[in-house]
Amino acid sequence: MVGRLIDVGLIFGCYGFKPSDSFCVCSGVENKILYFHYLDNNISDNVIEFLTLSCGLLNDDVSDYNKVTNIISYLHKTYGLFDKEELHNIQLFIRTHRPCGLYMKLFESKEIKNDK
């Protein structure tokens, strides 16, 4: 039997930074930092509602630096979605890639999974 697995979640990335034609600092990075299907049932609706309605991610990406960092902070403080190592990596990404321009967007990918 063949079933369909749909992954939906949150991407945190940067646009890249190329100050001249001959030098590239960063070509752009995307990290999938949150998968909705892994969220605890008690908070999943609240997290999805916050990201889609309050943050406006259903209609568009968020690329304002302050909004991006506030979203991360809110998700961590309110829902505890990132453990210490994940939060440290996200904070390092923010510091390292701020010159590139940061953004958040939703992703959806469909993968075919064979159920046997």
The 10s digit of each residue's pLDDT in 37-95 is: 889 888 989 999 999 999 999 899 999 999 999 999 999 999 999 999 999 999 999 99
Across 51-101, the runs of DSSP E, i.e. the strands, are: none
Question: Which has the higher per-residue pLDDT, 26 or 110?
Answer: 26
pLDDT band at 110 (very low <50, low <70, confident <90, very high): low
DSSP state of 22: T
Instruction: Determine the pLDDT at residue 3.
Output: 45
Mean pLDDT of 5-34: 91
Instruction: Determine the pLDDT at residue 56.
Output: 94
Token readout for 28 is 């752009």
How far is residue 89's CA from residue 63's CA, in Å, rounded to a whole number?
19
Burial class (CB in 10 A: 0-12, 13-18, 19+), 98: middle
Q: Is the dihedral of CA 89, 94, 99, 100 positive or negative?
A: positive
What's the whole-model pTM score?
0.84
pLDDT band at 6 (very low <50, low <70, confident <90, very high): low
